[in-house]
């Protein structure tokens, strides 16, 4: 095993450390967040820091780093209180990655992606996405250790491609074409290994 | 597209909604958290709510649901201030899932996994894991919307299998055998699609 302690990590070259530490937490969700500013300009940005917070009420969390390109998205969410989360497919992966550049106007047209609107949410969905989630701002907290901002939002609309949700509510993300990411810039498709039954001490888990 | 609004989601059967909403945020990291209580009993629990918070200082976050089996882990972290995060490989996936049962004593022996100790961290590592991360508690915040607890911790040790970290610090999680998960109980291996260059407005992203 290669071993790194606190001093070893602190003395790494900045770019090396960023890649290294961003890889350590394993595979991450990656999605496009759609929002709109007060002038009506549509914004789209790729995020890998979106996670489940609760099922009832349905809540998600997003981490926003201080001083990054993602600040437009955070400003729009805090002002408009609404945004969308759109899963990314291999078909438009390069376009999705391109949204992270410092664009002047809307990333939709600039990157070759299309808006889609519902009656529930003011913010734009990504037409190309098989899973589209409409969210309403609930609360924001600051992580004191590094001033990262945590936004918690309620899911108020879900639009999802037909025939990918099972009888038990489980969404087959592979059928949806949803990809995952690792580190800062690496994207991956997945292959199902197993679903297991609810674990109990007196027997081994079985495949569902 | 199938569409669900707030009322539709609220009226879903509880188990259905739990599977459904847990699937919505896409693929997640999944890892085993090792900890130790005041009596020295080693604890091991599977978590899918671990995420990157910052690279310098190196910080991770973990969400703990209120009133779940994971409370042992949270109690140990708050008391001992240290814990480990261990990536999961297909080789010991069933054993890793089995840690989520309500065991009386240590999950290591009960589930057929082995402890490993370093000089830096009091909490046990999982010997079988290719990526082992030692963490020190930094802060805890409560998400008001549903009383979920967010723990932020600093990475104070990394132990990682040789020949999987690139010259730029990127860790090849596929070489490490690290898996991902979706929903509550589905596990997946990955296949790399692409790494892309830092995005700029004046040119298309290129594969690294």
ipTM of the complex: 0.96
Separation CA A44–CA B80 (nearest Å): 42
SS3 B174: helix
Res. A80: pLDDT tops 90: yes
Tell me the per-residue pLDDT of B159-173, one tens digit each, with 9 for 90 and over. Answer: 999 999 999 999 999
SS3 B79: helix
Res. A62: pLDDT tops 60: yes
Separation CA B89–CA B173 (nearest Å): 10
Taking contacts as CB-CB distances below 8 angstroms, the residues of chain B near A111 are: none
Separation CA A31–CA A155 (nearest Å): 15
Cβ neighbours of B207 (radius 10 Å): 10
Residues B187, A195: contact at Cβ < 8 Å?
yes
Tell me the per-residue pLDDT of A172-190, one tens digit each, with 9 for 90 and over. Answer: 999 999 999 999 999 999 9
Res. A69: pLDDT tops 60: no
Residue B133 host element (H or E):
strand B131-143
Mean pLDDT along residues A27-42: 96
Taking contacts as CB-CB distances below 8 angstroms, the residues of chain B near A155 are: 9, 21, 24
DSSP string, chain A: -EEEEHHHHHTS-HHHHHHHHHHHT--EE-EEEEEE-TT--EEEEEES-EEEEEETTEEEEEEE-TTSTTHHHHHHHHHH-EEEEEE-BGGGHHHHHHTTS--SS-HHHHHT--EE--SS-SSPEETT-SEEEEEEEEEEEEETTTTEEEEEEEEEEEEE-TT-B-TTS-B-HHHHTB-EEETTTEEEEEEEEEEBPPPBTTB---B-
Residue with tokens 């290591």: B108
Res A68: pLDDT: 55
Disruptive mutation site among A31, A45, A55 for chain B (greatest number of B CBs within 10 Å): A55
**Confidence class of residue A104 from pLDDT cuts 50, 70 and 90?**
confident
Res A67: pLDDT: 59
Cβ neighbours of A142 (radius 10 Å): 12
- Which residues 77-136 in chain B show a CB within 8 A of chain A? 85, 87, 90, 93-94, 97-104, 110, 118, 120, 131-133
The length of chain B, given as a count of residues: 208
Residues A44, A108: contact at Cβ < 8 Å?
yes
Res A185: pLDDT: 96
Residue B143 host element (H or E):
strand B131-143
Report the mean per-residue pLDDT for chain A.
95
Separation CA B110–CA B96 (nearest Å): 11
pTM of the model: 0.96
Res B71: pLDDT: 83
Res B67: pLDDT: 59
**Confidence class of residue A71 from pLDDT cuts 50, 70 and 90?**
confident
Res B69: pLDDT: 52
User: Is there a contact between B28 and A9 if contact means CB atoms under 8 Å apart?
Assistant: no
Per residue, what are the HEC states of B10-56? Answer: HCCCHHHHHHHHHHHCCCEECEEEEEECCCCCEEEEEECCEEEEEEC
**Confidence class of residue B68 from pLDDT cuts 50, 70 and 90?**
low
Res A126: pLDDT: 98
Cβ neighbours of B66 (radius 10 Å): 14
Report the mean per-residue pLDDT for chain B.
95
**Which residues, at least 6 apart from B32, have a Cβ–Cβ distance to it below 8 Å?**
B44, B45, B46, B47, B85, B86, B88, B96, B99, B113, B126, B129
Res. B37: pLDDT tops 60: yes
SS3 B85: strand
């Amino acid at each position: 095993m290669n071993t790194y302690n606190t001093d070893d990590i602190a003395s790494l070259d900045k770019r090396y450390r960023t890649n290294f530490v961003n890889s350590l937490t394993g595979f991450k969700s990656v999605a496009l967040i759609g929002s709109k500013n007060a002038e009506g300009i549509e914004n789209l940005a790729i995020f890998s820091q979106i996670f489940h917070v609760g099922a009832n009420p349905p809540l998600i969390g997003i981490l926003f780093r201080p001083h990054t390109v993602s600040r437009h998205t955070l400003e729009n969410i805090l002002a408009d209180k609404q945004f969308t989360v759109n899963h990314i497919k291999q078909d438009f992966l390069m376009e999705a990655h391109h949204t992270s550049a410092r664009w002047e106007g809307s990333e939709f047209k600039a990157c070759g992606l299309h808006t889609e609107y519902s009656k529930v949410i003011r913010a734009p969905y990504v037409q190309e996405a098989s899973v589209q989630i409409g969210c309403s701002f609930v609360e924001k907290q600051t992580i004191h250790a590094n001033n990262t901002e945590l936004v918690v939002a309620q899911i108020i609309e879900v639009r999802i491609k037909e025939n990918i949700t099972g009888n038990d509510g489980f969404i087959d993300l592979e059928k949806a074409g949803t990809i995952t990411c690792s580190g800062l810039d690496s994207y991956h498709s997945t292959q199902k290994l197993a679903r297991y039954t609810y674990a109990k001490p007196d027997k081994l888990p079985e495949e569902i």
